[in-house]
Each structure stands twice: as structure tokens, then as C-alpha cells.
């Protein structure tokens, strides 16, 4: 899932200062799962903004809507009748959603309410961790199912570095050393010899070689 956190109130207040009618739009998939921008968070933010406006004596109209995914045109379309009624759309989607909504309604002003973070996993109650960088070439099969790009602080392919101590990373003791985990996982699988080869430098062109990436599949076109 794509994780995100909501922007602090001060920043939102500054972004929204010029507007009187605000439509908050939630996104029902990733950011709902990480409790940052789903229907519940839309309602919460709406009442916070109303309360804040009242305290400041500002006349504010706040509308609420949530679509399943703000990154899919057919679903964004549900907002068509609403958008024109407001001065600004405050999107509670990830950056991809914000941009897709803006592109769908070029006349509207669409603002982000979230700071998009990473591709992650729900690790426990209130904890999300990054474990994929979307590098374009998955090699988890070589590293015991643990991604060195996402989970090693230095993204080393031939780790561990000298800062691995008691299975912890020198950068943050609360973070496990990904390379200690890789070595342990491969040992368990009897595949430690996989680490004897020098892993070659990564092909970063797969990530940002020619600007924004796209996937184009002829078989999916109508």
C-alpha cells in the first residue's frame, strides 16, 4: 500500500487561507488503510476545519466526499457534479491521486492534505514500515525475501556495513539491520552461498532513467 500522513494543521490552514468553500475528498484504498485519508479521516478533518474557522471567526463551508480511488479516472468521475460548487478541492489521497484529480478537473484548484510517504506494510496497530522502493526490478529472491534497497539505510547490495551491531542498524537502534536479516534468512534457507557473488551496481535507469516511468500494455487497450 501507499502510505501517507496528514499534514499538520498549521500548514493546512496556510494552504487553505484564501478559500471559503472547501471540498475535502478522501480516498478509500491505500490511505484509508493507513488511516490518513479515508472516509473517517475526511470527517475528522472537516470538523476540525469547521471548528478552527469558528474559533477564528472565519466563514467556512466544508463539503465531504470519498471515492474508492483517486488515481482511477472512472472513480474520480463521481466528483464531477461536486467540484464546481467549491473554491478548492482538498485531496486526502497520495500524490498520484491529487494529480489525477487535478488533471481531471483542470479548472479546479486541487490541494494536497497529505504527505505521501512510501510503499509499505501495516506492521501492527498504528505502525507502517517501508519495504519496497519500486526499483523496477525485483530481486527479493536473491536476498531471502528482504529488500536491501528499501530496508538497508544505505541501500547496500553487498552488505552488511560495519555499523551492524546485535542485529540493529547504527542509524536507528529501533531499526533492524536488513543485512543481518538477509544473512539469517539465507542461512535458514541454506542459501548463504548466494552472497558470495559480488552483486553488480544497480541499474538506476529503471527508476529515473528517462523521467517519469510508465507502463504501457497493448493487451490492455480496448
Partner 1 sequence: MSHLQRILESGQFAVTAECGPPKGADPETVENKGRLLSGYVDAVNVTDNQTAVVRLSSLASCVILRGMGLEPILQMTTRDRNRIALQSDLLGASSLGIRNVLCLTGDHVCFGNEPHALGVFDLDSVQLLKVAREMRDEGRLCGGDRLESCPRFFIGAVENPFADPMRFRVRRLAKKVKAGAQFIQTQCVFNLKRFASWMEQIRAEDLDQRVYILAGITPLKSARMAEYMKEKVPGMDVPEELVQRMKKVSSRNQRAEGIRIALETIEALKEIPGVKGIHIMAIEWEEAVKEIVEEARLLPRPPVAG
Strands 88-91 and 110-112: parallel
Q: How many residues does the chain have?
A: 222
Does 195 bind partner 1 (CB under 8 A)? Our answer is yes
Q: Which of 6, 79, 164, 178 binds partner 1 (CB under 8 A)?
A: 164
Does 157 bind partner 1 (CB under 8 A)? Our answer is yes
Give the nearest distance from C-beta 165 to partner 1 in angstroms.
6
Q: Which of 18, 57, 126, 162 binds partner 1 (CB under 8 A)?
A: 162
Q: Of the two residues 139 and 165, which places its CB atom closer to partner 1 in the complex? A: 165
Q: Which of 59, 74, 196, 219 binds partner 1 (CB under 8 A)?
A: 196
Give the nearest distance from C-beta 45 to partner 1 in angstroms.
29
Does 153 bind partner 1 (CB under 8 A)? Our answer is yes
Give the nearest distance from C-beta 150 to partner 1 in angstroms.
13
Q: Of the two residues 198 and 222, which places its CB atom closer to partner 1 in the complex? A: 198
> Using an 8 Å Cβ cutoff, are 110 and 91 in contact?
yes
Does 198 bind partner 1 (CB under 8 A)? Our answer is yes
Cell of 156: 547496500
Q: Which of 18, 106, 190, 201 binds partner 1 (CB under 8 A)?
A: 201
Does 53 bind partner 1 (CB under 8 A)? Our answer is no
Cell of 70: 483517486
Residues that bind partner 1 (rule: CB under 8 A) add up to a total of 31
Tell me how far apart the alpha carbons of residues 197 and 120 are, in angstroms, rounded to a whole number. Answer: 29
Does 126 bind partner 1 (CB under 8 A)? Our answer is no
Q: Of the two residues 86 and 143, which places its CB atom closer to partner 1 in the complex? A: 143
Instruction: Return residues touching partner 1 (CB under 8 A).
Output: 153-167, 170-171, 177, 179-180, 183-184, 192, 195-196, 198-202, 204
Amino acid at each position: 500500500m501507499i502510505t501517507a500522513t496528514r499534514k499538520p494543521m498549521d500548514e493546512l490552514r496556510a494552504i487553505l487561507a484564501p478559500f471559503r468553500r472547501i471540498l475535502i475528498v478522501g480516498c478509500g484504498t491505500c490511505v484509508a488503510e493507513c488511516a490518513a485519508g479515508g472516509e473517517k479521516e475526511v470527517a475528522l478533518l472537516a470538523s476540525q476545519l469547521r471548528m478552527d474557522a469558528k474559533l477564528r471567526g472565519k466563514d467556512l463551508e466544508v463539503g465531504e466526499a470519498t471515492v474508492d480511488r483517486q488515481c482511477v479516472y472512472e472513480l474520480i468521475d463521481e466528483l464531477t457534479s461536486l467540484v464546481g460548487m467549491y473554491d478548492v478541492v482538498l485531496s486526502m489521497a497520495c500524490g498520484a491521486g491529487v494529480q489525477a484529480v487535478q488533471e481531471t478537473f483542470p479548472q479546479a484548484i486541487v490541494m494536497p492534505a497529505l504527505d505521501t510517504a512510501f510503499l509499505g506494510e501495516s506492521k501492527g496497530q498504528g505502525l507502517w514500515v517501508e519495504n519496497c522502493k519500486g526499483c523496477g526490478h525485483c530481486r527479493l529472491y536473491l536476498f531471502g525475501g528482504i529488500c536491501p534497497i528499501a530496508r538497508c539505510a544505505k541501500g547496500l547490495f553487498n552488505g552488511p556495513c560495519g555499523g551492524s551491531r546485535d542485529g540493529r542498524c547504527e542509524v536507528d537502534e529501533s531499526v533492524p539491520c536488513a543485512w543481518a536479516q538477509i544473512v539469517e534468512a539465507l542461512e535458514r534457507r541454506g542459501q548463504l552461498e548466494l552472497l558470495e557473488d559480488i552483486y553488480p551496481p544497480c541499474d538506476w535507469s529503471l527508476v529515473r532513467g528517462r523521467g517519469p516511468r510508465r507502463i504501457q500494455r497493448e493487451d490492455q487497450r480496448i
